[in-house]
Amino acid sequence: MTAKAHHFGGEMNLMSPERIDALIATYRDGLLGDTLPFWINHAVDREFGGFLSCLDRDGTVIDTDKSVWIHGRFIWLLSTAYKTVEQRPEWLALARHGIDFLRRHAFDSDGRMFFHLTREGRPLRKRRYIFAETFAVAGLAAYASATGDAEARDQAISIFELITRYLTTPGLLPPKVNPETRSMKGLAIPMIMIVTAQILREVAPDLAFCPEVTGLCPKVTGLCPKVTGLCDQWIDRSISEIEHLFMKPEFEAVLETVGPSGEFLDHFDGRMLCPGHAIEAAWFILQEAQHRGGPGLPRPGQGDPRLVKLGTTILDWMWARGWDEEYGGILYYRDVKDLPVTEYWQDMKFWWPHNEAIIATLMAYQMTGDEKYAVWHRMVHDWAYAHFPDPEYGEWFGYLHRDGRISTRLKGNLWKGPFHLPRMQLKCWQVLEQIKAGRRG
C-alpha cells in the first residue's frame, strides 16, 4: 500500500453506509441512465439487424462494419440486465435482435464464428482465436438463463463443446508462432474459459438437455450434472493453469505468455505483463470462490478460502505492477524485469483495465474485509471517474495517454462496445447491495 493509499484510508471510513449508497447510485444510474441508453440509442441497426459499435464521441456511426465479439457481449449484457435488474421487454427484444443477426451471419460452415462482418453480415475476417465463440456462449447462455429458451441454451452448450474440442485437439487452432520452434500458452484462454463456464453453468439446470443437441448427457429430466460438471471441470482446469503455469512467485507476477509447462520465456512476449488482464482473472476466481463457498451472502469467511487467497494474491501482485505511482491509473503493459516493452503504446490508460480493477478491488474487499482493498477501490474508481467519462455525450472515452489526456474521442470500435463499463456498473452495484444486505443480517 502506498503512502497515498494510507492517506485515503486514514481520512475517512471508505465503506461507510453513505459511501456505499453513493457508489450504488453512481454505478446504477450510470448503467441505467447513461451506458445502456447510449448503446441502445446508437448501436442498434434497425435496417440490417445486429449492432453497430464503431461510434464517434456523440454516437455517430463512423464505420458500419460489425464485430462478432460485440454481439455476444451486448446480448449478454441485455439478457443479464433483464434477468437481474428489471424485466424490460425492450432489453429482451434487443438481445433477440442480436441473436438473430449472429445466427444468420456469424457462423462459418465449420461451426466456428467470424470476427468481423460487413453491415449486411458478409464475412470479412475469421481469426485463429476462439473469443468470438466464447462471447457467443456468454450471450446465448445469459439469454437462456433470462428466458428459459431451450434453443439458446442448447446452442450455447454446443458452441462451448466446439470450443473445448478446438482447445484440446492439437493442430486445430494454428498458433501464430511455429510450435515446433517455440510452443507458447496465453493467459487469455484459461481466463476466458473460467467466466464463460461460469455463465454457462447458470443455464436452467432444472431442465433436461437433449442428447441429440448436446451429446453430453443421457435423456433425463431434472438437473443436468454433465453440463455443470463440464463447466466445473473447465473452471478447475483453467484456475489450475493460471495458478501453476502463469503465476510466478519468484516475480510476484502473473505472466501473459508461458511455455506449455509454464516455462518462463525470456523474450518480449514472455516477459510482458498486462496488469488489467490478470486483475480481470482475479475477480473471476473470486467469483468462483463465492460460488464454492456454499450458501449465504458473499462476505469475509464465506468464500472458498483457497480461491479467495488465490484471487487476492493475483490482485496484490498485479496492482503493484500496474498502478501508476506517477500519474495514477492502471498501466497497460509492463515488463516483468522492468525492461522496455516492445509495444509502443504500453503506458497508455485504457478504459477496461480500470473497469476490471474497480470490480476486483471491490470484490476483494467484500470477501476479505481488508480495508486495503477499499482504499485501492477508491483510488482506481476516483482516477477512472476523473478521466474516462465524457461529460458532454455520455459513456466513457476508451483510450487515454499515460497522464490521463484523451488520445482519441472514439466511443466504440470492433473491441470497445457495451461490455466492460456496463458489466462493471452492474457487478459493482450488485456487490454493494450484497455488502449492505450482509451488514443488515
User: Which of 170, 261, 295, 344: binder of a second copy (CB under 8 A)?
Assistant: 344
Q: Where are the beta strands (DSSP E) in 34-186?
A: 54-55, 61-63, 66-67, 116-117, 123-125, 185-186
Stretch that binds a second copy, among 61-69, 87-95, 291-299, 385-393 (CB under 8 A): 61-69
430 touches 84 (CB < 8 A) = yes
Least Å distance between CB 56 and a second copy?
Answer: 6
345 is a contact residue toward a second copy (CB under 8 A): yes
Stretch that binds a second copy, among 115-123, 155-163, 237-245, 426-434 (CB under 8 A): 115-123
Bridge partners, 323 (sequence order): 330
User: Which of 169, 178, 221, 261: binder of a second copy (CB under 8 A)?
Assistant: 178
419 is a contact residue toward a second copy (CB under 8 A): no
User: Which of 116, 237, 291, 436: binder of a second copy (CB under 8 A)?
Assistant: 116
Cα–chain center distance at 145: 18
All three cell numbers of 330: 492502471
Minimum CB distance to a second copy smaller for 276 or for 398: 398
Counting residues that bind a second copy (by CB under 8 A) gives: 42
Binders of a second copy among 196-255, rule CB under 8 A? Answer: none
Stretch that binds a second copy, among 118-126, 247-255, 286-294, 307-315 (CB under 8 A): 118-126
261 is a contact residue toward a second copy (CB under 8 A): no
> Positive or negative CA dihedral for 17, 21, 22, 26?
positive
Least Å distance between CB 123 and a second copy?
Answer: 5
DSSP notation for 131-159: HHHHHHHHHHHHHHHHH--HHHHHHHHHH
Least Å distance between CB 402 and a second copy?
Answer: 8
316 is a contact residue toward a second copy (CB under 8 A): no
264 is a contact residue toward a second copy (CB under 8 A): no
> For residues 20 and 178, what is the distance between their CA atoms, to the nearest angstrom?
51
CB atoms within 10 A of CB 440: 6
Is 266 in a helix, a strand, or coil? coil
User: Running DSSP on this structure, what letter comes out for residue 245?
Assistant: I
Q: Where are the beta strands (DSSP E) in 272-318?
A: 272-273
H/E stretch holding 18: helix 17-30
**Residues near a second copy (CB under 8 A):** 54, 56-57, 62-65, 116, 118, 122-126, 176-178, 181-182, 266-268, 339-342, 344-348, 350, 398-399, 401-402, 407-410, 413-414
